[in-house]
Each structure stands twice: as C-alpha cells, then as structure tokens.
Structure 1
Amino acid sequence: MQEQGRNSFQIEGVLSELGALRYSPGGVPVMSGRIEHRSRQVEAGVPREVGLELSVVAVGDKAKLLAAVRLGSSVRLAGFLAARSLKSRAPVLHIDTIEFLEGTNHGIQASSEA
C-alpha cells in the first residue's frame, strides 16, 4: 500500500467508556473505549461550543495502561485515525500516547510514549 500522507490526531477529554481487556489470537493485549470531548472553539471568528465522542483502541502496553484507568479520567490521547472495519467507515483513534491531565494519575505513570 502506498503512503498517502500524514495521519496524526490528538484530543483531550474524559474517558466515557472502557471495554474489557482482551487478547488478539496472537496474544497481544487490546483495549477499546470512548473519549468524550467538550470545548469552545473559534471558527471564522465566531465562538462555538464543540462536543463529540470518539471510539478509541489501544494495543500492546498501551492497552494494559488503558485497562488500569478509571472511567471519567481526564486524558490527552494521541495517535492515528483508521476506519472501524471494511463495513463501518466510522473513525477510531488508535492510541500511541496516553497523558493524564489531573489528579494523582490513579497510580499510573503520567505519560506513556512508545
């Protein structure tokens, strides 16, 4: 497959849904969830309220880290967007970086980058 350009995405929000930690047939940890984002943005000079929910997935060590996080935690997630499947073209954020934005980080390392 030919590379078509950059695919990089970052979002801050609250973890609103976390599935169970599961393992691929090859034994790789996988964790899915959703992040909810709310902010005030300026578009064409006009302020507007923005809100969305986005599906996320973490694989490997990032999946184990995400599995230890509590629902409602404020995080900054970075990674790349891909379609959910061949049938559903809805975007899913594949997490490369998890940064905790508040509190004691729930006993977890404050930033994890691979």
Structure 2
Amino acid sequence: MSAVVVQVQSLRYTPAGIPALNIVLEHESEVVEMDTPRQVKLQLRAVAFGAQAETLSRQGLDAVCEFHGFLTNARNGKGVVFHIQDFSKT
C-alpha cells in the first residue's frame, strides 16, 4: 500500500523489550469501479515493531512510502490496525 505517514507517536517498548511505534497512515488513489473513476482517501492506524519501528521513528512526516503488512482487529476491538512488516520510500 502506498501511503504517507501523517502522525507518529513516541517510540515505546513492549514488556519483552521490543521497540514498537504507533503511527497513522494516509492513502490516496484513484480506482475504477463499474467503469467510473473513484477517488479513494483514508487514514489508517498502523503499528511497527523491531527494526521497522526504529527506522520509522526517524522518518519525517509526509514522505510517500510503500508499506507491506497485514490488517487485524485493534486490541480494544474497535476498528482495524495495519501491522507493518516492511516499507520503503518511493
């Protein structure tokens, strides 16, 4: 998923000592649905662990990156969270 980091919380550590970073991503694109162009824009809560978290904590906001990972339920059961497994600047 191509997205921009629009919000970054402070780097934290899990009880096991693993770096963790909560961020908010913003994705914007155009897709065709039933032969009609459609603008897609959304913000998505995301989390990164380990080296990915440390690297992302040093990145500036508003840089377009390509993110790879998976969606899962939020811990509190409200909404979804994108778990970042890899990313690269585009």
Give the TM bin, normalised by the shorter chain: over 0.9
Describe how 1:1-114 pairs up with structure 2 within 5 A. Answer: 11-85=1-75, 87-101=76-90
Q: Structure 2 unaligned runs (5+)? A: none
Instruction: Report the 3-state secondary structure (helix = DSSP H, G, I; strand = E; otherwise coil) of the residue aligned with 1:27.
Output: coil
Percent identical: 32
The offset of 1:18, in angstroms, is 0.6
Q: What is residue 105 of structure 1 aligned with on the other side? A: none
Corresponding residue pairs, total = 90
Structure 1 runs of 4+ off > 6 angstroms?
none
TM-score normalised by structure 1 residue count? 0.75
TM-score normalised by structure 2 residue count? 0.94
The structure that has the greater radius of gyration is: 1
The offset of 1:26, in angstroms, is 1.1
The offset of 1:39, in angstroms, is 1.1
Provide the C-alpha distance between the structure 1 equivalents of 2:83 and 2:44, rounded to a whole number of angstroms.
Answer: 11
Provide the C-alpha distance between the structure 2 equivalents of 1:45 and 1:89, rounded to a whole number of angstroms.
Answer: 33
